[in-house]
Amino acid sequence: MNRWNEYATKVLQGEQLTNEEALTVLDCPDDDVMLLMHAAFQVRKKYFGKKVKLNMIMNAKSGLCPENCGYCSQSSLSKAPIETYRMVNKETLVKGAKQAYELNVGTYCIVASGRGPSNKEVDHVVEAVKEIKELYGLKVCACLGLLKPEQALRLKEAGVDRYNHNLNTSERNHSNITTSHTYDDRVNTVEVVKQSGMSPCSGVIVGMKETKQDVIDIANSLRVLDADSIPVNFLHAIDGTPLEGVHELNPLYCLKVLALFRFVNPTKEIRISGGREVNLRSLQPLGLFAANSIFVGNYLTTRGQEESEDYKMLQDLGFEIESVEEMRESLATN
């Protein structure tokens, strides 16, 4: 048995990798990566079989953000030429849900820029979610920034199933990425989400000048935080942002990161998220041997792969899309 299969066996027996073992995953020799992904797939297969969850983003409010996150084209520091607009109307939010339903996307993600939502914005999302639930029965994820407990309860009562608030990077590296809010601010929002009864979604952006130890630390932090869904983003450096021109990643390293996140968080939804097209490139399909979820369509201010190409990729892999009906049954039993 090779080392990677030993790690898979250890994880499936309910044990955690040591820090040294986690580092060997990120340091996996390139000619061993296929063996590593095979081992990661044993863990993925145990908990998710060959199912893939599909997610779609609606950029409900773009730009105009006072925060100074170095990776973001919508931040106060960004000079990127993006479209900016206030919260879109309810009809647009519902229309996006209709598109997601027609594409057999199980989770519809309503994302708005800003430090956190106003009560008026929460009211607006609440009204849209009620209609979306009535018409399409989709799982709805909201991502509106730092959240107050009473706002979280309102979203939960309206039918929001999941709330996303990424930790993005390790606690040690956080101040290198943004200083307009703290790492603890982000952790506290995830805790507020959990207390409300919504499912917590929190993830990472890899490729922001962090160390391998930072990647291990954030994977473990998300395990401790008990995030149900973990988006793994790979930095898509946008011209006009402070991280413009940062290109530290390559496809094989991205696969090693995905394998690490599967080993550290074996039972959780691991989603290949923003930047997969430009960082994994032709190796995108291999990422799904560790991850069990992807976004389809565009991201917030960058374009994604054509939906038809994603469906072809999943078909070629022999994977099965978790249908909207299956998603509804899952929600009913949880």
For residues 135-171, one letter each, b for 16 or more C-beta atoms within 10 angstroms of the residue's C-beta and e for the rest, the string is: ebbbbbbbbbbbbeeebbbbbbebbbbbbbbbbbbbb
Of 28, 44, 65, 262, which one is the catalytic site residue?
65
- Residues 82, 63 contacting (CB under 8 angstroms): yes
The tokens describing 265, both together, are: 């968080």
Of 28, 44, 143, 201, which one is the catalytic site residue?
201
Q: Which of 209, 256, 282 is nearest to 29 (CA)?
A: 256
State yes or no: is 109 an active-site residue: yes
The tokens describing 61, both together, are: 């409010």
Of 162, 262, 271, 276, which one is the catalytic site residue?
271
- Residues 284, 15 contacting (CB under 8 angstroms): no
The tokens describing 243, both together, are: 């991280």
State yes or no: is 28 an active-site residue: no
State yes or no: is 65 an active-site residue: yes
State yes or no: is 72 an active-site residue: yes
Of 28, 44, 109, 143, which one is the catalytic site residue?
109
Helices (H) and strands (E) in the chain, counts: 14, 10
State yes or no: is 143 an active-site residue: no
DSSP string, 195-242: HHTPEEE--EEE-SS--HHHHHHHHHHHHHHT-SEEEEEE--PPTTST
Of 141, 143, 186, 276, which one is the catalytic site residue?
141
Return d(Cα 271, Cα 266) in angstroms, integer: 13
Of 69, 186, 262, 276, which one is the catalytic site residue?
69
| Residues acting as catalytic residues | 65, 69, 72, 109, 141, 201, 271
